[in-house]
Amino acid sequence: METIKVVFFDVGGVLLNNGWGHQSRQEAARLFDLDYSEMEVLHSFIFNVYEIGKITLDDYLDTVVFNHPRSFTKEDFKTFMFAQSEELPGLLQWLKDWKRSCGFRIISINNEGRELNDYRIKKFGLHDCFDAFVSSCEVGMRKPDPGIFKLAMGIAQVSTEECVYFDDRIMLAEAAQKLGIRSIHHQDFLSTKTILEEIKSSV
């Protein structure tokens, strides 16, 4: 613990909701009168390609939603998509304050499509708590690919012993753990806050 220099964070499910999760897609299907089953098959087929930056949000929507004539526009649908992003209670605002005196660099490692990623960074002021963003859409890899964790450590110029990683998904925390990164399964604001304060007090 004495050697920690960087704290890596996931974003969706930790600081913000997932933005375009299954509940949002269900609501979109209801609101826009879409065939949810068809939408989910097409979403599963193409979304990973969007998240690694190989296609645009318009390309994704052409496949998943606008594969049939619609009574609404792509801009209408994108406005709905962006509006699904919400801040989770507690941690984000606390982390912005904690960063000012913690002495650590804080870097995100997140799976996100470019347009949604850019929107969420600006909307929720994520520059105020992150020094850098290792986002799947920018680096062409997505978790649990070990390459994205190795790239993040290379960007930060830290070894596995010099960083800690928080993720709300156990599988993704375990993927980082396999590389030797101390990984924490984020479950709620208070438990993560306690761990971060312990890390700070130990250095």
Show the tokens assigned to 84.
């699904």
Second CATH level (architecture) for the domain 6-17+86-202: 3-Layer(aba) Sandwich (3.40)
Show the tokens assigned to 141.
């890899």
Q: Is the pLDDT of residue 61 over 90?
A: yes
For residues 17, 23, 29, 31, the Cα torsion angle rounded to the nearest 10 degrees is: -70
Query: Where does the chain hold its CATH 3.40.50.1000 domain(s)?
Result: 6-17+86-202
Q: What percent of the chain has pLDDT over 70?
A: 99
Work out the pLDDT band at 98, boundaries 50, 70, 90: very high
Is 170:16 a contact under the CB 8 Å cutoff?
no
Output the pLDDT for position 197: 95
Q: Average pLDDT, whole number, for the chain?
A: 96
Q: What is the distance between the alpha carbons of residues 139 and 116, in angstroms, rounded to a whole number?
A: 15
What's the predicted TM-score (pTM) here? 0.94
What topology does CATH give the domain 22-83? DNA polymerase; domain 1 (1.10.150)
Buried-exposed string 187-200: b where 16+ CB fall within 10 A, e elsewhere? eebeebeeebeebb
Output the pLDDT for position 202: 81
pLDDT digits (tens, 9 = 90+) for 121-180: 999 999 999 999 999 999 999 999 999 999 999 999 999 999 999 999 999 999 999 999
Output the pLDDT for position 4: 93
pLDDT digits (tens, 9 = 90+) for 64-91: 999 999 999 999 999 999 999 999 999 9
Give the Å distances, CA to CA, from 39 to 71, 74, 153: 16, 15, 36
Query: Where does the chain hold its CATH 1.10.150.240 domain(s)?
Result: 22-83
Alpha helices in 33-145 (DSSP H): 36-51, 57-64, 74-83, 91-102, 114-123, 136-139
Q: Is the pLDDT of residue 1 over 80?
A: no
Work out the pLDDT band at 2, boundaries 50, 70, 90: low
The secondary structure of residue 88, as a DSSP letter, is: P
